[in-house]
Structure 1
Amino acid sequence: MAVEAVIWDFGGVFTTSPFEAFNRYEIEVGAPRDHIRKVNATNPDTNAWALFERNEIDTQGFDELFLKESTALGHPIRGADVLPLISGMVRPRMVEALKLCKQHFKVGCITNNMVTHHSPGSDAPQRPRGAMGEIMPLFDHVIESSKAGVRKPDPRIYQMMCEALSVEAAACVYLDDLGVNCKPAAQLGMRAIKVVDVDQTLAELAEATGLAFPATEVAQ
């Protein structure tokens, strides 16, 4: 089936991975490498991270529960100290790729986010500024876990996007930096691309869509 839509994750795709910031912070506080990721991967549907991304707990609840979970895994870290680490640096070539895709296909964004740290569709005081504020309006449709009450990798959130864009899953390309989120997309019939780095991603996206993406950043 011909491609009709390209669906994107946000963090770790249009921005550098927060995992890099997590690792730097772990060094600063003397925690084991990937300790924060371990906390997030333990009981992944019911832990503090999952509850916060579905907006089932508030910032204080996340702070306290993450501290409890990280302590149980050997090194206490407050949730409030993790939140500032989430935002990464924008990847300009990925933004240009989105703009090119938008000229030929429907484009959507599925983002697992948190009410106090999400970018699209939020109330005015929380709306993103600068580059992030320019990216989100490019999408034809955005689904935020904190508003939808469902988060990746739940297959329902991908089906919601297909319905919103009026496309079949088999006509979609999906990009995400986490393999666990790519798997359900692929199972639904999407062409899933795991984002490892920009060059690899754009090469695979070019193969899937037939588009030619610039090898270097576009001069402004």
Structure 2
Amino acid sequence: MTYTTVIFDFGGVITASPFEAFNRLEEERGLPRDFVRRVNAADPDNNAWAKFERAEIDAAAFDSLFAEEARALGHELEGEAVLAVIAGAVRPAMVAALDTLKERGVTIACITNNVPGGKMGIRGAGMKRSPEAAIEVADIMARFAHVIESSKAGVRKPDPRIYEMMCEALGVEPAECIYLDDLGINCKPASQLGMHAIKVTSGDQALADLSAALKIALP
């Protein structure tokens, strides 16, 4: 199969995984490791994260609702504290790969679950970044032929509709696409639609798998 299009998640793919920051926060607060992930996994379609990423609630409501969900699991943690740590560091090799793909005529795009007000959330492009970092993220996003943000589209991964929306916007079939995400739950619907899905566990692994699928040498 000849792939014409590569669709990227942002957080955990273009940037380092926010879960590393969550683990540091948990250690600082004396919370069980991966507690934030436990909260986020509970009722995944209707919890605080899901509602925030669909722009159904604002930041203040997220703060209190997340705290309630954390409390229900036996610990105190406000949503605001989680939002404050989730911006991951950009992976330079991945950005270089974007440029290589464009030079080789491959269409690149991005699907990101984010939160309202231009602030990218748990799976997105950044939260509470410095002005310099915000400019860096904007520069990266400008490379994509099309970007779908959950808070603007009103639908979030892993809903299959968001992948279908991207294919329609680009005028491609799913079988022409490679999709990269650091969450298996988000890779599954892409694969079921016919995309070649790559679950990202590290920057090096992602680039190696993408190079093999495209038969293009990447940084």
Distance in 2 of aligned mates of 1:129 and 1:144: 16
1:132-180 per-residue CA deviation (whole Å, 9 max, x = no partner) reads: 1210000000000000000000000000000001000000000001111
Deviation at 1:127, TM superposition (A): 11
1:93-129 per-residue CA deviation (whole Å, 9 max, x = no partner) reads: 0001111112221111000001242278xxxxx9963
Aligned counterpart in structure 1 of residue 207 of structure 2, from 202, 212, 219: 202
Distance in 2 of aligned mates of 1:128 and 1:6: 24
Contact 1:176 1:193 in 2 (8 A): yes
Aligned counterpart in structure 1 of residue 181 of structure 2, from 176, 179, 185: 176
Distance in 1 of aligned mates of 2:171 and 2:36: 37
Deviation at 1:130, TM superposition (A): 3.2
Aligned counterpart in structure 2 of residue 192 of structure 1, from 190, 197, 202: 197
Gaps of 5+ in 2: 126-130
Provide the residue aligned with 2:158 in structure 1.
153
Deviation at 1:84, TM superposition (A): 1.1
Provide the residue aligned with 2:20 in structure 1.
20
Distance in 2 of aligned mates of 1:129 and 1:150: 24
Provide the residue aligned with 2:112 in structure 1.
111
Distance in 1 of aligned mates of 2:39 and 2:116: 20
**SS state of the match for residue 89, structure 1?**
coil
State how many pairs are aligned: 209
Amino acid of the structure 2 residue aligned with 1:26: E
1:83 paired with 2:105, answer: no
- Give runs of aligned pairs for residues 1-16 of structure 1, distance below 5 A: 1-16=1-16
Aligned-residue CA RMSD in angstroms?
Answer: 1.5
Normalization by structure 2: what TM-score?
Answer: 0.92
Gaps of 5+ in 1: 121-125, 215-220
Contact 1:127 1:133 in 2 (8 A): no
Distance in 2 of aligned mates of 1:53 and 1:90: 21
